[in-house]
Amino acid sequence: MTRSDEEVQTALEDLFAGFETLIASGQETSHVVRRMVAVTDTAAEPGVWREALAEELLEYLRRMAPEDDDEWTASALSCLDAVCELVRISPRPEMAWALIVRATSTKKIRGVEDLTWIIEHADQIDRETVADAYLERARSRPESEVSAAVDDWTTAFAMVTEPEDQIGCAVNLAIAYADLEQPIAEAEWSWQAAILVEISEPSPDLDLLQEAYAAQFRAVEYLHRIDGSAKRMRPLLDRMLSRSGWAPDGLLPPHIHIVAAGICIQDNDAAAALVQLNLGEHRLGEVEPYFQAEWLLCQMECAVMRSDSRTGEHFARRAWPLIEVVDDEEQRTRFRYVIAGLGTVTGPWSMPGDDLAAVRMLSSVLTRMRAGTGGQEEIELLDCAIQDFDPMLQAHLMIAAYALRARINSALGRVADAADDLHTGRVLLTEIEADPPGGFPRGISTMLEQSEAIVEVVRGHPEAGALRLDEIWRAELEAGAHSAAIGAALAAGQLWLSHVPRPHQAVESAVAALTIAQELRYARGDSKDRSALATYVMTGHALAIEAVSRLGDCRLMAELLEVIRAQSVPYVSDDPGVASGPLESMLTEALSGEYPVPEDEQRSSAVLLSPPPLIVMPWGSVAMAPWLQYDEIAERPTGRLVLADL
């Protein structure tokens, strides 16, 4: 039935009279509003009357709403309920703001319902109001609905435009993810909040910045505990390194740089790790012994990755006393792996309870090969090692085993088997270079290259093999990989002398091998470790003498003999970094407490050697000057040889 305008007007006036009575006493008004809407539906033009009804109710609300932060009276709340009822049943989405006002002004359960109504009608409501609805609904969620609150905060963050609201969303998301024990997401949102604060506020809240910084550190620690990838950790570290001024009290720069170095090592980036370690050295003495030991361990790991056994030994001797004090099992394990990787440990490769048996067995096979022994027994040992290694975590050791296997097969004339070994090793190397499970020694690639050069010789291409080995020893020397450089130089020299032959190039390779070995030998901190290099030195002597004799140059022979007989000057050092006995004693201690250092090696001093001297010949030149491969930085004595000495 359609009513006339006069009838509609009369009916509404009657309802408004009852409405005023209800709001005066703060009573429920929603039923009256529903009757008012029903009346407007009977008009000839319902839309016009609903517009008038909405304006009338809003006028009541304007008169009764409190000013500023004053509390809402019961009458005002009753009037607000009426407006909200009109918004929802009419519906009037352009007045949706009233629902937000009720949700923020009262603690009624209907507050969340009102906000949900706005969100469900988002396509009819302005974006700012919908964003406010998400904000308020997130704030209204009880603790039991934290996951739902996260969804609301996330949506609100994407919709709000004011920096203050964005910051609030990000902060609340960080708190929510902390409650959900999701440190990665907590770190992301806390950093988002901190950057927004930094950009938008002239005087940022330092507490908020420090909390964001600490959240990044917690996330890195969490990823480290679960063996997370370096790719996930490095962005977190980069953030901290870019805002060192945000670091909270107790979190010093060395803490960050040491962790960053460990992540770079895991990412197989020794160069970047060394940068972080250099930065972390400043104020290193102010951090806990655990982190000091970590710094030294990272230095050792970088040395192994660069095949720099001399530097590795230096830091190993400094690290072990700290590692003993800290007594962290993970650090002990890493230490003994690095010591084994240095390749300077002598003695048996198998000990009771030794979990490094396979690692040390590789060193044992390599030592036998250098001594001229290598056959089916060694092949079987390498096969056992390959079976024992974890292909995910120890692929680099498998590659080393295949490289050694290829060399032995080459020596036995099994060229096809050697080629298969090298192919398998190359495939593994490509896999771990593309997606490294952690740092692996750069020397692994060198071992493959040397084995490939040897296979070339066996195939009847000695010159190609010699050229390749020549390139290898030069590259390894430049990289600081002294042990690898010596082995490649000796092999190249033997090929230039016996297979090609080119004695002049053999002289260069042989002198390089013996002088690099002399340098490496004087740097050793213990006489037992120095004696382990005697074979290298003696082989270099013999090879160089044979090569020079082939040239028939008497003056060159005189120079070579003086270089060979030049002696380093011994001196005593009480530096605990070197006066700690042979590396083997540290390794056995690290393996277990069952192998104490013998009494005569528990000393407080050590006899060291100075760098080999330069010899100036009577004719004015430094002996073998064009071929010496001494360390240019080291200070060394110079001796002048006179004719009376000859």
294-348 pLDDT, tens per residue?
A: 999 999 888 877 667 677 777 888 888 888 889 888 888 788 777 766 654 333 3
- The token duo for 159 is 């919709």
Comparison of pLDDT for 447 and 277, the residue scoring more: 277
Q: Provide the mean pLDDT of the chain.
A: 78
- DSSP assignment, residue 284? G
What pLDDT is attached to residue 153?
A: 93
Residue 176 — very low, low, confident or very high, per pLDDT cuts 50/70/90? very high
Return the minimum-mean-pLDDT range out of 88-92, 325-329, 556-560: 88-92
Contacts of 68 (CB under 8 A, 6+ apart): none
pLDDT value of residue 62: 81
Greatest mean pLDDT among 96-105, 245-254, 442-451: 245-254
Q: Is the model more confident about 522 or about 6?
A: 6
The region, left, alpha or beta by phi > 0 then psi within -120 to 50, assigned to residue 425 is alpha
Query: Mean pLDDT over residues 104-121, rounded?
Result: 75
Q: Is 60 exceeded by the pLDDT of residue 583?
A: no
Helix, strand or coil, per DSSP, at residue 43: strand
**Does the pLDDT of residue 631 top 80, yes or no?**
no
Residue given tokens 């060979």 in the structure block: 564
pLDDT tens by residue, 533-545: 666 677 778 888 8
Overall average pLDDT of the 203-208 stretch = 89
Tokens for 425, please give them: 């090793």
Residue 211, pLDDT above cutoff 90: yes
Q: Is 589 within 8 Å of 495 (Cβ atoms)?
A: no
Distance of CA 245 to the CA centre of its chain: 22
Task: Assess whether pLDDT exceeds 70 at residue 174.
Answer: yes
The predicted pLDDT at position 373 comes to 67
Residue 345 in 3-state DSSP? coil
Q: Residue 41 — pLDDT band, cuts 50, 70, 90?
A: confident
State the DSSP code for 72.
Answer: P
Q: What is the pLDDT of residues 441-454, one digit of tens each?
A: 556 777 788 888 88
Cα separation, 346 vs 526, in Å, equals 12
For the chain, give the percent of residues with pLDDT over 90. Answer: 13
Residue 148 has pLDDT above 80, yes or no: yes
- From 581, 564, 569, select the one nearest 518 (Cα to Cα): 564
Per-residue pLDDT tens over the stretch 392-431: 667 777 888 888 888 888 888 888 888 899 899 888 888 7
Q: State residue 567's pLDDT score.
A: 55
Residue type, 312: G
| pLDDT grade for 605, boundaries at 50, 70 and 90 | very low
Structure tokens at 568: 């380093």
Q: What are phi and psi of 435, to 5 degrees?
A: -145, 75
Residue 513 has pLDDT above 80, yes or no: yes
Cβ contacts of 338 within 8 Å, gap of 6 or more: 297, 300, 301, 304, 312, 316
Q: How confident is the model at residue 440 (pLDDT cuts 50, 70, 90)?
A: low
pLDDT at residue 181, as a whole number: 92
What's the rounded Cα separation, in Å, for the pair 192 and 364?
54
Query: Pick from 369, 352, 351, 370: which is nearest to 360 by CA?
Result: 351
Q: For the chain, give the percent of residues with pLDDT over 70.
A: 77
Q: What pLDDT was estimated at residue 381?
A: 82
Q: Tell me what the mean pLDDT of segment 52-73 comes to.
A: 80
Residue with the bigger pLDDT between 377 and 294: it is: 294
DSSP letter at 2? Answer: P
Contact 334, 569 (CB under 8 A): no
pLDDT band with cut points at 50, 70 and 90 for residue 291: very high
Name the residue with higher pLDDT: 349 or 79: 79
Q: What is the pLDDT of residue 586?
A: 47
End-to-end CA distance of the chain: 135
pLDDT band for position 106 (cuts 50, 70, 90): low
Least confident piece of the model among 134-138, 363-367, 468-472, 580-584: 580-584
Mean per-residue pLDDT, 216-231: 82
* pLDDT value, residue 151: 94
Beta bridge partners of 640: 616
Confidence of residue 196 (pLDDT cuts 50, 70, 90): very high
What is the sign of the dihedral through the CA atoms of 42, 43, 45 and 50? Answer: negative
Cα(447)–Cα(398) distance, integer angstroms: 12
Contact 409, 379 (CB under 8 A): yes
Number of Cβ within 10 Å of residue 67's Cβ equals: 5
The band of 89, judged by pLDDT with boundaries at 50, 70 and 90, is confident
